[in-house]
Chains A and B, each alone.
Chain A
């Protein structure tokens, strides 16, 4: 992803496509899109990945998380014909060096989150998947996902530590 962002590397982009396109298609079809519609969304998402690459920040998001977010936006756009309002982006001071420890911290946090997800019982996992595919309202999420969200929350608390360091160097 960094090669795509910094060097506009087409081979790296092709590799991203090979990894993510079949996953995106499977993911989108789970939420009820037809084969044709799913490919349309995959195309849209991958083009957005190429065009928005400059806003990818490895300090704040895993590649898959960043692509997930774009995929949900494109899905809403195409299926609901609505625009999801997005928060302002944080802008790093120009010339901010990549902070390897912070990126590693995010990776580690994500691994913990993954093992928490892997430990869920199938029916809990099902609910979580429905929630993140956009199939549950927030009331349904609050009544149905109590336990899994609890696990997520403990991860979020760790994330807060990370942020506190980081916000010192960022202008809001």
Chain B
């Protein structure tokens, strides 16, 4: 836990606490917080700010029957939301997105595999499996990309990322992540816009792989 060196930026934790982060990124942030005590405490601090603002909120009187309504429902049966526990290297929020199933890997070539967990207009989140020594083709970003390492490690122009580390990449960054020697690198990656591959082949394959 103490080895984590790359954390969630403060503004992103605040947005997560407030619920304004798009779902794909929220999955990654929740997963990092599940692994990282430092960001957990920072998140709790943000929730405390939210709580103070709630305490200070201008009160608006509620209709008279609301309280009786609620009190009468206290014993009513209800279906608790399922709780997903960590399974192996996958933190609870990943298991939740997987709905408890195992990853279904699809080959992308050269041993690289992915499982798209969710995909929508506001972004996508996927698991990536990169064999040791293998590179993800050189690319830039049209938006934001969050990558959380779950197993092994990778390195790129900005540094080395091990288990629990979160890389935040944006329009400014062009990089070629390479999985380090040792275990295959398994990452949780979220983007809100397609990547920009520089080489011709990956660009050609892009629609196929929906990256």
- The residues of A with any CB-CB pair to B shorter than 8 Å are 10, 13-14, 17-18, 20-27, 29-30, 38-39, 42-43, 46-47, 50-51, 60-69, 71-73, 75-76, 82-90, 109-110, 113-114, 117, 128-129, 131-139, 141-142, 145, 149, 152-153, 155-156, 159-160, 162-163, 167, 172
Provide a sorted-by-A list of 17 A–B residue pairs whose CB atoms are within 8 angstroms.
A10-B74, A23-B59, A25-B61, A26-B59, A42-B62, A71-B54, A84-B23, A84-B26, A85-B97, A87-B93, A113-B48, A128-B49, A136-B18, A138-B15, A141-B15, A155-B45, A159-B41
In B60-92, the 8 Å CB interface with A consists of 60-63, 66-67, 69-71, 73-74, 78, 80, 83, 85-86, 91-92
Contact between B14 and A149, CB atoms less than 8 A apart: yes
Nearest 7 CB-CB pairings of A with B: A65-B51, A64-B51, A142-B11, A22-B59, A138-B15, A68-B50, A88-B92
10 A-B pairs besides A87-B30, A88-B93, A160-B41 with CB distance below 8 A are A24-B54, A64-B54, A65-B48, A72-B17, A83-B23, A109-B48, A134-B20, A142-B11, A160-B38, A163-B41
Contact between B66 and A42, CB atoms less than 8 A apart: yes
Q: A82-B23, A85-B26, A88-B92 known; A132 and B59 CB under 8 Å?
A: no
Query: Digit string of B24-56 for contact with A (CB within 8 Å is 1, else 0)?
Result: 001100110110011011111111111111110
A167: chain B residues at CB < 8 Å are: 1, 37
What DSSP secondary structure best describes chain B's contact surface?
helix
State in angstroms the CA–CA spacing of A152 and B47 once bound together: 11
Q: A61-B47, A68-B50 known; A139 and B11 CB under 8 Å?
A: yes
State in angstroms the CA–CA spacing of A97 and B10 once bound together: 32
Residue in contact with B53 in the complex, picked from A27, A69, A87, A145, CB distance below 8 Å: A27
A13: chain B residues at CB < 8 Å are: 71, 74
State in angstroms the CA–CA spacing of A86 and B92 once bound together: 8
In B113-127, the 8 Å CB interface with A consists of none
Q: How many residues of B contact A (CB 8 A)?
A: 62
Contact between B45 and A132, CB atoms less than 8 A apart: no
A40 smallest CB distance to B (angstroms): 10
Most buried by B among A64, A133, A138: A138
A72 smallest CB distance to B (angstroms): 4
State in angstroms the CA–CA spacing of A87 and B41 once bound together: 12
Q: A85-B30, A159-B45, A172-B1 known; A27 and B14 CB under 8 Å?
A: no
State in angstroms the CA–CA spacing of A87 and B50 once bound together: 17
State in angstroms the CA–CA spacing of A39 and B26 once bound together: 27
State in angstroms the CA–CA spacing of A15 and B49 once bound together: 23
Residue in contact with A21 in the complex, picked from B14, B67, B91, B93, CB distance below 8 Å: B67
A87: chain B residues at CB < 8 Å are: 30-31, 33-34, 40, 43, 91-93
